[in-house]
Structure 1
Amino acid sequence: MTLTASNALLSFGGILLLASLRAEAALSVTLNGTPCSVDNIVTRDVCIIGGGSTGTYSAIRLSDLGKTVMVVEEKNRLGGHTETYHDPVTGTPHDYSVVVWHDLDIVRNYFARLNVSLVKSSAGGSGAKQYFDFQTGKPLPNYSPGDPTPGLAAYAAQLAKYPYVEEGFDLHYPVPSDLLLPFGQFVKKHNLQSMGSLIFGFAQGLGDVFAQPTLYVMKNFGSDILKNIKTGFLTTAEHDNSLLYEHATADLGPNVLLNSQILAVDRSDREEAKVLVKTPSGVTLVKSRKLVFTIPPKLENLRGWDLSALERSLFRQFSNSGYYTAILRNSGLPSNLSLVNVSPHTEYNHAALPGLYGITPTGIENLLDVKYGSVNGLPDDQVKKDILSTAARLQVPGRTTGNPELAVYSRHTPFELTVPPKAIAGGFYKRLYGLQGQRHTYYTGAAFHTHDSSLLWQFTEALLPNITAV
């Protein structure tokens, strides 16, 4: 189409008018004493910080209880640590992060609410296993993990002394000395050595399990875990655990801000909290009477927050482990064999970290599941390089020539957040829990309980009456 001079002038004038309207549409607000320009203002009863397992559960439950919500999530999806790979060739799904949940009513009810079917599953997997020293790549044909039954029975008796540990960090004071012991010392004190190998493999992501205070290990590997090991866990019937979060996303609709970054948080107003969010479509200000905080409370995650002196003092005490998951392609390794990393140089022959816990089948030809742990967080490039070099050196009989590469890789770091025994004994968690409800904010998520979706949903459920109170 050819524009006349008058049409061109009208078109140019339209652009100027549109720009003027946009400028007028931009709103000015003040947060933490600083003027800010925003494109959109929304008001909700509750703003939820983080759209992982706990944040998504909070959003669905609060919505069902008649509250309006807005979820702020930095990734392009809900679900956090729950991730599913779909093979582009066969379409077959594989859950390469969260695999199972506890068989509890709260779990069954939540999945039923979102119309996702569940089936029983074991957490230990099935099929043949071979043991290797991943540091040298050599097989250890004479290694056997032994029977963990005596140690597990003795461990269950110890867990029974501290039933409150299964519910959170509402500890008894003075804190029992056994809970403060490094877990390796606790194991020896109570003759639990036969379960040493099993618990290291199960409690992946905790870093050096035997150096951690026993409290954290008990919370991660508690009495309901022992019960489900015997009776079976739950997983999705489609073997696609991300379905839970896809259905939740559809249910919440426009009340989710994905690919979004928090720029500032102002909780100084007595009536409401303000959260300034950079979204793909502009800057949105979310006003709400309550905040539900679910992300790891590390100071590097909280730039722009109006942290109090107490919040800053508590959050800076956290240390964290590192945990990483991946799917390996073109490795030349057998697709039907679990390769377990054991070491002849560690006390319980557990894998030396940083390193791989093991390599397991996905059920998809030429694709293998990888889990990697470290005591501290590591750069992704370092982890990826180590995964590939380790896979290449494994001397597995019958392996074919391959060129290992990562089909997918995911960083779950910071993972386990911990403080030293002295801080635990000194009332760290009493002060941390004292933050609940202060400055419009309620706290949940792994740092306030444990890395276990099922138990976190229970923990969050207990907070709901206070969150929904006027």
Structure 2
Amino acid sequence: MFSRISTAAVVAQLAMGVVASPCKVPTINSTVAAWQAKYPGATVQSADVVIVGGGSSGSNAAINLVDAGKSILLIEKKAQLGGMVDSFTDPTTGTVYDFGVATFTNLTGTEAYFERLGISTKSPTFGATTPYYVDFTTGQTIDYVAPDVVSEFAALGVYHDVVAQYQDLFFPSYANWPAPEDIPEDLLMPFGDFAVKYNLNDTMLLLWAGIGAGLADMLDLPALYVMQTFGAPTAAVFLGTDVQYVPESGRNQDIYDAVASILGDAVMLNSMVTESVRLANNQGVALLVENQVSGDYTIVTAERLVMAIEPTASNLAPFATDSTESAVFNKGTWSVVSTGLVQHPSLPADALIYNLPASAANGNDFAYPEPPFVDYFEAVGDGYFQAIVVGWEGFTVEEAQALAQDAIEKLADAGTIDPTNGVPLTIAAWSDHGPMDMRSTKEDLQAGFIQDQYALQGYRSTYWTGAAFSNQLSTYLWAYNLEYLVPLVVASF
């Protein structure tokens, strides 16, 4: 059986002399030889498994595969592992602020993973804040009355119990996902309708501000994707019936520094795949990898490839996806999230300023800003505020930062905060989390989207981890790797 190769990939391979005709699949040896001729200084490295993406899912998969007896190479485009963990250290005080990943929930394998890395943990502490409800398009406060805590948690308990009924269908993986005709209607209906059905009004702001805002259109998409993102284990943490952890050091980046230390020379930082060949029937892969700092090339060969990056068109461009793969990923929709650590003297020191439209006044629990939007400014200490900005795929860092600056100016112009006196927002640190929370439509789900997606596991020697196949949260991804992905990859040898 031959894997299908796109026309563009064939043209590129012909130009390198890798294939002689469009119907002939390249071999790993011929590919390596062609790349060595084109890049004579390139080194060659081999492993059982090569992993692309050193964020939460890729780093964890690498450790689990090593522990399963497999040799690995881990390719990461940034200068450190960890993806969007985002730990910032104040250069004056030495205080650490984690403005990407906040805490880690108590899921399957979490404690054992921390022990494997030599990371001691503690329970997180949170500072008190004063909530403000403001329409960021005008800067004016709105007459939103938040539910009391008892009512909020009662509604969250209902949400937890309903989601728990369906959890095995999509957590930690979709291995148990039902046939299209058997998908429960609760999972397919728009989340706004689901929330009305179960009278979740009093916990809607918690669901939105907790995680849901990152979806950009929480009310409109199939309820499945909200349940996947804000699952029963996460609800249990908010309810206080389960625990959460942070490293004893208070610096989440320590987790990934420990991974890098364990993996040593198997980690390729500042590196990106520029070309690839992936063969059918688990016959292996070859990747041409460029170091973005030195400009040096490495040719990587492996029996299996694990993709730990979001499968967007731009991310997958070097991997020459074929029609089978594109038919799945082209149906995906992504929101884009930026998170920043910012300062401004006009922001109240203890403020948590929520962005809600004017229509959220007078008890409307189903009104949220339209993308792109700033989700909130939250005081985290010493004059620092975390800012979350959300848009659709293609929304840039520059646009996100400009939107945050515009929000500050509107708040000041409306008299909601002190005048800015021309002082701009200070950006201490900023992280582009990029496309997140891939989702599809009800119609695609009913047409077998999940089945088609998971059928890609092992196709062209490639296996998939990351949020598009599981969940955006670190500990969910670790459970997915431990219980589903790593056993699948190991069994393929």
User: Does the pair score TM above 0.5?
Assistant: yes
Identical positions, percent: 28
Q: Does residue 390 of structure 2 align to residue 373 of structure 1? A: yes
What CA distance in whole angstroms lies between the structure 2 residues aligned with 1:36 and 1:403? Answer: 49
What CA distance in whole angstroms lies between the structure 2 residues aligned with 1:361 and 1:117? Answer: 27
What CA distance in whole angstroms lies between the structure 1 residues aligned with 2:448 and 2:464? Answer: 17
In 2 relative to 1, CA 338–307 (structure 1 residues): closer, same or farther, beyond 3 Å? same
Amino acid aligned to 1:392: E
Q: Do the aligned residues in 2 keep the contact of 1:356 with 1:370 (CA within 8 Å)?
A: yes
Q: Do the aligned residues in 2 keep the contact of 1:326 with 1:369 (CA within 8 Å)?
A: yes
What CA distance in whole angstroms lies between the structure 2 residues aligned with 1:126 and 1:353? Answer: 28
Q: Do the aligned residues in 2 keep the contact of 1:328 with 1:404 (CA within 8 Å)?
A: yes
Match of 1:305 among 291, 305, 319: 319
Superposed structure 1 runs of 4+ greater than 6 Å apart: 31-35
Q: Does residue 347 of structure 2 align to residue 345 of structure 1? A: no
Once the two structures are superposed, residues 399-442 of structure 1 have per-residue CA deviations (whole angstroms, 9 ceiling, x without a partner) of 77543221221111211111111111111111111111222211
Instruction: State the TM-score, normalizing by the size of structure 2.
Output: 0.84
Q: Do the aligned residues in 2 keep the contact of 1:31 with 1:266 (CA within 8 Å)?
A: no
Q: Relative CO higher for 1 or 2, CA cutoff 8 Å, sep ≥ 6?
A: 2
TM superposition shift of 1:248: 1.2
Amino acid aligned to 1:193: N
What CA distance in whole angstroms lies between the structure 1 residues aligned with 2:50 and 2:122? Answer: 33
What CA distance in whole angstroms lies between the structure 1 residues aligned with 2:283 and 2:141? Answer: 64
For 1:129-208, list aligned pairs within 5 A.
129-140=131-142, 143-146=145-148, 147-164=151-168, 165-170=170-175, 171-173=177-179, 174=181, 175-203=183-211, 204-208=213-217
TM superposition shift of 1:142: 5.8
More divergent stretch after superposition (448-457 vs 112-121): 112-121
What CA distance in whole angstroms lies between the structure 2 residues aligned with 1:199 and 1:444? Answer: 25
Q: Which residue of 1 aligns with 2:129?
A: 127
What CA distance in whole angstroms lies between the structure 2 residues aligned with 1:180 and 1:376? Answer: 23
Match of 1:293 among 307, 310, 315: 307
Once the two structures are superposed, residues 168-191 of structure 1 have per-residue CA deviations (whole angstroms, 9 ceiling, x without a partner) of 233212212221111011111222
Match of 2:90 among 87, 90, 93: 87
Q: Do the aligned residues in 1 keep the contact of 2:73 with 2:268 (CA within 8 Å)?
A: yes
Q: Do the aligned residues in 2 keep the contact of 1:342 with 1:351 (CA within 8 Å)?
A: yes
Q: Which residue of 1 aligns with 2:450?
A: 429
In 2 relative to 1, CA 337–271 (structure 1 residues): closer, same or farther, beyond 3 Å? same
Q: Does residue 289 of structure 2 align to residue 277 of structure 1? A: yes
Q: Which has the larger radius of gyration?
A: 1
In 2 relative to 1, CA 36–426 (structure 1 residues): closer, same or farther, beyond 3 Å? farther
Gaps of at least 5 residues in structure 2 are 1-28
Q: Which residue of 1 aligns with 2:43?
A: 40
More divergent stretch after superposition (179-188 vs 352-361): 352-361
Amino acid aligned to 2:174: F
TM superposition shift of 1:32: 11
Q: Which residue of 2 aligns with 1:358?
A: 376
In 2 relative to 1, CA 329–153 (structure 1 residues): closer, same or farther, beyond 3 Å? closer
Q: Do the aligned residues in 1 keep the contact of 2:308 with 2:466 (CA within 8 Å)?
A: yes
Once the two structures are superposed, residues 184-213 of structure 1 have per-residue CA deviations (whole angstroms, 9 ceiling, x without a partner) of 111112222222221111123111110111
What CA distance in whole angstroms lies between the structure 1 residues aligned with 2:39 and 2:457? Answer: 31
More divergent stretch after superposition (229-238 vs 279-288): 229-238
Q: Which residue of 1 aligns with 2:246?
A: 235
Match of 2:232 among 199, 223, 229: 223
Once the two structures are superposed, residues 298-345 of structure 1 have per-residue CA deviations (whole angstroms, 9 ceiling, x without a partner) of 121112313232112111111111111011123431232222222222
What CA distance in whole angstroms lies between the structure 2 residues aligned with 1:320 and 1:307? Answer: 18
For 1:8-157, list aligned pairs within 5 A.
30=31, 36-37=38-39, 39-121=42-124, 126-140=128-142, 143-146=145-148, 147-157=151-161
In 2 relative to 1, CA 331–324 (structure 1 residues): closer, same or farther, beyond 3 Å? farther
Amino acid aligned to 1:311: E
In 2 relative to 1, CA 142–458 (structure 1 residues): closer, same or farther, beyond 3 Å? closer
What CA distance in whole angstroms lies between the structure 2 residues aligned with 1:108 and 1:77? Answer: 23
Amino acid aligned to 2:297: V
Amino acid aligned to 2:86: E
In 2 relative to 1, CA 186–287 (structure 1 residues): closer, same or farther, beyond 3 Å? same
- What's the secondary structure of 1:290's corresponding residue? strand
Q: Do the aligned residues in 1 keep the contact of 2:348 with 2:417 (CA within 8 Å)?
A: no
Q: Do the aligned residues in 2 keep the contact of 1:343 with 1:350 (CA within 8 Å)?
A: yes
- What's the secondary structure of 2:406's corresponding residue? helix
Q: Which residue of 2 aligns with 1:440?
A: 461
What CA distance in whole angstroms lies between the structure 2 residues aligned with 1:30 and 1:437? Answer: 21
TM superposition shift of 1:125: 5.7
Instruction: State the TM-score, normalizing by the size of structure 1.
Output: 0.88
- What's the secondary structure of 1:121's corresponding residue? coil
What CA distance in whole angstroms lies between the structure 2 residues aligned with 1:266 and 1:253? Answer: 26
Q: Do the aligned residues in 1 keep the contact of 2:76 with 2:269 (CA within 8 Å)?
A: yes
Q: Which residue of 2 aligns with 1:212?
A: 221
Q: Do the aligned residues in 2 keep the contact of 1:359 with 1:371 (CA within 8 Å)?
A: yes
What CA distance in whole angstroms lies between the structure 2 residues aligned with 1:301 and 1:398? Answer: 43
In 2 relative to 1, CA 251–169 (structure 1 residues): closer, same or farther, beyond 3 Å? same
What CA distance in whole angstroms lies between the structure 2 residues aligned with 1:319 and 1:73? Answer: 24
TM superposition shift of 1:275: 1.0
TM superposition shift of 1:352: 4.1
More divergent stretch after superposition (96-105 vs 42-51): 96-105
Gaps of at least 5 residues in structure 1 are 1-27
What CA distance in whole angstroms lies between the structure 2 residues aligned with 1:421 and 1:185? Answer: 13
What CA distance in whole angstroms lies between the structure 1 residues aligned with 2:409 and 2:321? Answer: 47
In 2 relative to 1, CA 32–40 (structure 1 residues): closer, same or farther, beyond 3 Å? closer
What CA distance in whole angstroms lies between the structure 2 residues aligned with 1:212 and 1:257? Answer: 38
Q: Which residue of 2 aligns with 1:3?
A: none
Amino acid aligned to 1:257: M
Q: Do the aligned residues in 1 keep the contact of 2:32 with 2:299 (CA within 8 Å)?
A: no
Match of 1:332 among 324, 329, 346: 346
- What's the secondary structure of 1:74's corresponding residue? coil
- What's the secondary structure of 1:455's corresponding residue? helix
